[in-house]
Amino acid sequence: MKRHEPGREFKWGDEMTQPQISVSFLSGAYHGEEWQKYQQVESLRDDEQPDQHLQCYNLLELDGRSPYVRDPREGIVVAAMLRHAINGLLQREGFETQTIQELLGHGKKGSQIACLPLPSIGHRHADGMIRRVMLKTTDSFVLDRLGRGLDGCDLRDKEHPVAMLSPIRGSDVVVDRFTCESEVWETVTPVILPGYDQIGNSKRKTEKLISRSILHSGFTPSQVCRIWYRESPWNHHGYPAGTYQTAMYMRYPQYHVRVEFRRPVCGPLILGSGRYFGLGLMVGTEENSLYDAA
């Protein structure tokens, strides 16, 4: 394997001067200054994380016999197909239009369902291709309704059925890498910054925007030890930042990010503006494995 530089390192607070904030867990942003428009949902201690309810599925071909495989750079397409299936199911289940809009990210912050395509990782011969998806939400009731309704559901690409969902029951070597407990986490898909990091011709605010992305995901500065970022992937499963498909409203700079916490935290961890679509998805890893990339 080719040895890469570890990336630029900084500590939270080393970046450009930040606004004074009253930190608590927020859905989508932190409480203070211009970010007051976001809704505060729950205060957490520094050793706590928000509740996460998960359901995972294998992607199968329509005959149900072989895996449906997709390039990880097209993960947002898989997420969009899953969101379309969820929208149809919620309508059939009788959910109100406003509730469906909130669950799909159009409206009140805090209840949105994250649709996360999972690259195949976890062993030396894994190829990084998408064969599984994960649903993540804070609402266990909604997830239970989805879990029953999505079993065997078709996924459509441009209105044509291309795959079907099969629930993962029990342990799965790939899923376990995203849901483990670890002090060190690194991106498998790049973080999309919540804004442009170039100011004028030279001044950049990359580190401030990365810090903001971590805060958006519910973590406070006191929980984080060190942060690294770079454009190249951390391991041989990934691709350079900027090569992943995004929606028009996500056309902000991308970086691969590594975060070292002061104590172990549980996954899944997803950072940045694409976190509800699987961009900025992180994997728990060992310290010595982080600098190897193909």
Using the 3D structure, point to which of 124, 148, 171 is the last residue of a domain.
Answer: 171
| Beta strands in 147-276, from DSSP E residues, in sequence order | 154-157, 160-167, 181-187, 191-192, 198-199, 203-204, 224-230, 254-266
Instruction: Judge if 136 and 273 occupy the same domain.
Output: no
pLDDT band at 47; cut points 50, 70, 90: low
Instruction: Judge if 288 and 179 occupy the same domain.
Output: yes
CB 31 within 8 Å of CB 220: no
Instruction: Judge if 45 and 181 occupy the same domain.
Output: yes
Instruction: Judge if 204 and 284 occupy the same domain.
Output: yes
Instruction: Judge if 197 and 255 occupy the same domain.
Output: yes
Instruction: Judge if 101 and 186 occupy the same domain.
Output: no
Instruction: Judge if 64 and 162 occupy the same domain.
Output: yes
pLDDT band at 41; cut points 50, 70, 90: very low
Q: In sequence order, which residues have a C-beta less than 8 Å from that of residue 26 and are 6 or more positions away?
A: 35, 38, 39, 40, 41, 109, 215, 216, 218
Q: What confidence score (pLDDT) does residue 254 get?
A: 95
pTM, rounded to two decimals: 0.82
Q: What is the pLDDT of residues 214-248, one digit of tens each?
A: 999 989 989 999 999 999 999 888 899 999 999 88
Instruction: Judge if 182 and 159 occupy the same domain.
Output: no
Number of domains in the chain: 2
Q: What is the pLDDT of residues 161-206, one digit of tens each?
A: 999 999 999 899 999 999 999 999 999 999 999 998 887 776 678 9
Q: In sequence order, which residues have a C-beta less than 8 Å from that of residue 172 and are 6 or more positions away?
A: 56, 132
- Sign of the alpha-carbon torsion through 261, 72, 65, 88: positive
Instruction: Judge if 76 and 147 occupy the same domain.
Output: yes
Q: What is the CATH number of the domain that holds 62?
A: 3.30.70
Task: Round to whole Å and give the CA distance between 144 and 141.
Answer: 5
Instruction: Judge if 58 and 162 occupy the same domain.
Output: yes
Q: What is the pLDDT of residues 178-188, one digit of tens each?
A: 999 999 999 99
